[in-house]
């Protein structure tokens, strides 16, 4: 029996040494030390032994069992350590590798144009005004000297919500609203915002776009004040060497009315594809506020005068950044938008 025991011990120790992982080791444990294993069997067989032999054998079996158990635990510890090392090896981080690039957004080109113009005018003492995009027919047209049936309404067809309620076609209604609210006080405002027209979208037209309105009301406000102000604007947006030119035009809410051109920033006035070989680029409409508009808003047109202008934000952005299709501003294509990242810094 002793010999049987030594043989068994050798067998288990070999199996333990051979076990390549924790699972295999556990199988050895169950097979040899478990309730149905050979060591338990041996212990059960002790009843058949004589009284002298019994304690001797009992001690022997226990020694073997303790030895096997100790070897098993040692191997478990060894395998566990190896597993941890392997895991660390797998999960190790190479801190010298370049990090993933975090993409930072940038301001939309239209926002930039609007903010640049706002900054310029705030610096000249203007306030920023706002008005509703869903506007009353009265403010969008009538208060601007465009009564119902006026032919100039045709150029500004829009989306009607009711007969009297529409999506504003320009930011000019904010002129009338501000004058009403200021009740005869002097005014210097700039008003950026969305406007809408019933236009078919193409490279230069959009049913929704942005304007920036300007309005100054006070005593002795003259055409030369308007010209000087727009000269500052043109130089700020297109470069210090730019000149402006005023051409006679018509708007129902201004008299006289002008169309304002800036000398071409690409060719300097010689003539190129941007200015259609004329050396000049039209950038906005303006004029002296019509006496009817002043009177309708409660101002005395004999005492005060004013000028107004309306800038198309997209047009300025297209010229400034060389954008060939207005629709690029609205499609949220990051390939287009990210090009303005560099210039932002």
Binding test (CB under 6 A) with ligand DAH, winner from 75, 287, 297, 328:
287
Binding test (CB under 6 A) with ligand DAH, winner from 32, 121, 209, 251:
251
* Min dist. Cβ of residue 263 to ligand DAH (A): 21
Residue number with CB closer to ligand DAH (5 or 254): 254
* Min dist. Cβ of residue 194 to ligand DAH (A): 13
Residues 217-246 interacting with ligand DAH (rule: CB under 6 A): none
Contact 163, 277 (CB under 8 A): no
Residue number with CB closer to ligand DAH (146 or 275): 146
DSSP conformational letter for 335: H
Q: Which residues neighbour 55 within 8 Å (Cβ) at sequence distance 6 or greater?
A: none
DSSP conformational letter for 160: B
**310 touches ligand DAH by CB under 6 A:** yes
| CA–CA distance, 114 with 120 (Å, rounded to integer) | 10
Residue number with CB closer to ligand DAH (176 or 264): 176
**Residue 80: closest CA among 15, 26, 11, 13:** 26
Residue number with CB closer to ligand DAH (192 or 285): 285
Contact 317, 300 (CB under 8 A): no
| CA–CA distance, 300 with 292 (Å, rounded to integer) | 10
Q: Which residues of 293-306 are buried (b: 16+ CB within 10 A; e: fewer)?
A: bbebbebeeeebbb
Contact 109, 141 (CB under 8 A): no
| CA–CA distance, 174 with 180 (Å, rounded to integer) | 10
| CA–CA distance, 125 with 146 (Å, rounded to integer) | 30
**Residue 327: closest CA among 238, 168, 156, 199:** 199
| CA–CA distance, 90 with 184 (Å, rounded to integer) | 77
| CA–CA distance, 206 with 323 (Å, rounded to integer) | 14
Binding test (CB under 6 A) with ligand DAH, winner from 140, 158, 172, 305:
172
- Choices 22-30, 74-82, 176-184, 285-293 (CB under 6 A): range interacting with ligand DAH: 285-293
**Residue 247: closest CA among 235, 232, 230:** 230
- Choices 52-60, 79-87, 280-288, 291-299 (CB under 6 A): range interacting with ligand DAH: 280-288
**109 touches ligand DAH by CB under 6 A:** no
- Choices 37-45, 110-118, 284-292, 331-339 (CB under 6 A): range interacting with ligand DAH: 284-292
Residue number with CB closer to ligand DAH (25 or 316): 316
Sign of CA dihedral 171, 124, 243, 263: negative
Residue number with CB closer to ligand DAH (17 or 128): 128
Residue with CB nearest ligand DAH?
310
Binders of ligand DAH: how many residues, by CB under 6 A?
Answer: 11
Contact 174, 131 (CB under 8 A): yes
Residue number with CB closer to ligand DAH (169 or 263): 169
Binding test (CB under 6 A) with ligand DAH, winner from 179, 294, 308, 316:
308
**170 touches ligand DAH by CB under 6 A:** yes
Please give the backbone phi and psi of residue 262, each rounded to the nearest 5 degrees, phi first: -120, 145
* Min dist. Cβ of residue 240 to ligand DAH (A): 25
* Min dist. Cβ of residue 221 to ligand DAH (A): 13
**210 touches ligand DAH by CB under 6 A:** no
Binding test (CB under 6 A) with ligand DAH, winner from 254, 294, 297, 304:
254
Binding test (CB under 6 A) with ligand DAH, winner from 126, 141, 238, 309:
309
Residues lying near ligand DAH in the complex (CB under 6 A) are found at: 170, 172, 213, 251, 254, 285-287, 308-310
């Amino acid at each position: 029996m002793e010999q049987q025991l030594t043989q068994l011990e050798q067998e288990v120790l070999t199996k333990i040494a051979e076990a390549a992982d924790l699972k295999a080791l556990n199988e050895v444990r169950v097979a040899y030390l478990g309730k149905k294993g050979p060591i338990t069997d041996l212990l059960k067989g002790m009843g058949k032994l004589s009284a002298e032999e019994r304690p001797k054998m009992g001690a022997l079996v226990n020694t073997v069992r303790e030895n096997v158990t100790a070897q098993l635990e040692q191997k478990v510890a060894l395998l566990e350590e190896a597993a941890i090392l392997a895991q660390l090896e797998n999960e190790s981080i190479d801190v010298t590798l370049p990090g993933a690039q975090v993409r930072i957004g940038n301001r939309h080109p239209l926002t930039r144009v609007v903010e640049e113009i706002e900054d310029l005018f705030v610096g000249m003492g203007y306030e920023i005004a706002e008005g509703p995009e869903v506007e009353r027919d009265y403010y969008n047209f009538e208060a601007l000297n465009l009564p119902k049936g006026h032919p100039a309404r045709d150029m500004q067809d829009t989306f009607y919500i009711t007969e009297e309620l529409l999506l504003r076609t320009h930011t000019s209604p904010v002129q009338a609203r501000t004058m009403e609210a200021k009740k005869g006080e002097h005014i210097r405002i700039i008003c950026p915002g969305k406007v809408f027209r019933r236009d078919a979208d193409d490279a230069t037209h959009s049913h929704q776009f942005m304007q920036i309105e300007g309005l100054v009301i006070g005593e002795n406000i003259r055409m030369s004040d308007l010209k000087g102000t727009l000269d500052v604007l043109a130089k700020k947006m297109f470069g210090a060497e730019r000149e402006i030119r005023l051409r006679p035009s018509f708007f129902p809410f201004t008299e006289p009315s002008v169309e304002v051109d800036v000398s071409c920033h690409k060719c300097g006035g010689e003539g190129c594809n941007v200015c259609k070989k004329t050396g000049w680029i039209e950038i906005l409409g303006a004029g002296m506020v019509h006496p009817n508009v002043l009177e309708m808003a409660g101002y005395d047109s004999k005492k005060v005068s004013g000028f107004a202008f309306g800038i198309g934000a997209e047009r300025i952005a297209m010229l400034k950044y060389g954008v060939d299709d207005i629709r690029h501003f609205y499609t949220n294509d990051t390939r287009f938008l990210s090009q303005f990242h560099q210039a932002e810094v």
